[in-house]
Amino acid sequence: MVGRFSRMVVAMTIRMPRWFVGWVSRRYVAGPKLEDAVKVMHRLSKEGACFTIDVLGEEITSMGEASFFLEEYKRVISAISENKFDANLSIKPTAFGLLLDSDKGMENIEALVSMANEHDMFVRLDMEDHRVTDDTIQVMLDMHDKGLTNVGVVLQGRLFRTLDDIQNIENKLGSNADYRICKGIYLEPEEISHTKRQPIIEATNACIDAMLDAGAYVGIASHDYPVIEHTLQALESRKMGPGLDDPRSNAGPARNQKGPGYEFQMLLGVRGPLRRKLTSKGHRTRVYIPYGEKWYEYSIRRLKENPTIGTQVAKAFLMPWTNRP
């Protein structure tokens, strides 16, 4: 019943005028400009949050667009440094031209990762749909081969392949692996992924366990209580947690602007009370902050690809006091 209601809300929202979608999305998108993201970071820094910044846009049609993203992310690095924010970058490899010209795309990504490294800043490679899973993982491995270890990848718990990917990455990077694990917003074919809520949650939890046991750094990107509760239990059983040094014998060295082997990550505007509760207990919490001129396309895509967001949209509209950003 809830799923049907959520899909109905999404279907109605994406047919609404652009201004209405903008009203809905202002909770989840900082705005069209870098200055908008800076304002949000100033505000949420007071709540003890740290950040990862995403310039909206992905599959581009020309390498000229790739140049725009490279230059815009350079501006982001400068803004983070100038304001002394506790923040890193999230980038989509396709936005840098990976599918148009793989060599030039890699050159663009390496240039950005190198600049971030000079500022002691981390870069997260966002995971797009299954067409680019192998390419995205390979970009990370290639960067590490070049000595740029300030880069990690997102893996999606819903994909059948993800546990194997974790093992393969562990074999190549050991404890230098750095993940964001999420259920995955892309509604992938049932031939390659779990499509029901409970199997997706169970698969994601299994991935969290595998990452922790591999000594990797793990960013748990979830708003689902079953995933967060499982993570808290998994941390406790491994004697990991706030104020504790990472006790894992296979853990990598402590990383700048990172937690003791793990952190929680949440989207801007989603489950703010839960994020603040985790922060109050000493857990490191990172907020994913998207901004850019492509806010409308981003908002519509997230609604279409994950209709369960409809429930959150309705709740934000009808009962905003229950879900303060």
CA angle 309, 312, 313 (to 5 degrees): 85
**pTM across the whole model:** 0.88
Flag whether 22 is in a domain.
Answer: no
CA distance 209 to 218: 10
pLDDT number for residue 318: 44
Flag whether 11 is in a domain.
Answer: no
Flag whether 299 is in a domain.
Answer: no
Contact (Cβ atoms closer than 8 angstroms) between residue 96 and residue 69:
yes
Flag whether 211 is in a domain.
Answer: yes
Flag whether 307 is in a domain.
Answer: no
Q: Which residue has the tokens 């709740």?
A: 315
Contact (Cβ atoms closer than 8 angstroms) between residue 314 and residue 5:
yes
267: tokens are 């989207």
Helix (H, G, I), strand (E, B) or coil at 11: helix
pLDDT number for residue 256: 77
User: Range of 184's domain?
Assistant: 30-291
Backbone φ and ψ for 274, nearest 5 degrees, come out as -65, -45
For the chain, the domain total comes to: 1
Flag whether 317 is in a domain.
Answer: no
Contact (Cβ atoms closer than 8 angstroms) between residue 166 and residue 203:
no
User: How far, in whole angstroms, is CA 189 from its chain's centroid?
Assistant: 22
CA distance 307 to 295: 18
Flag whether 93 is in a domain.
Answer: yes
CA angle 161, 164, 166 (to 5 degrees): 110
Backbone φ and ψ for 196, nearest 5 degrees, come out as -105, 150
CATH number for position 173: 3.20.20.220
Using one digit for the tens of pLDDT, what is the confidence trace for 46-67?
Answer: 999 999 999 997 668 899 999 9
Low-confidence ranges of the chain (pLDDT < 70): 1-26, 58-59, 294-325
pLDDT number for residue 293: 77
Flag whether 273 is in a domain.
Answer: yes
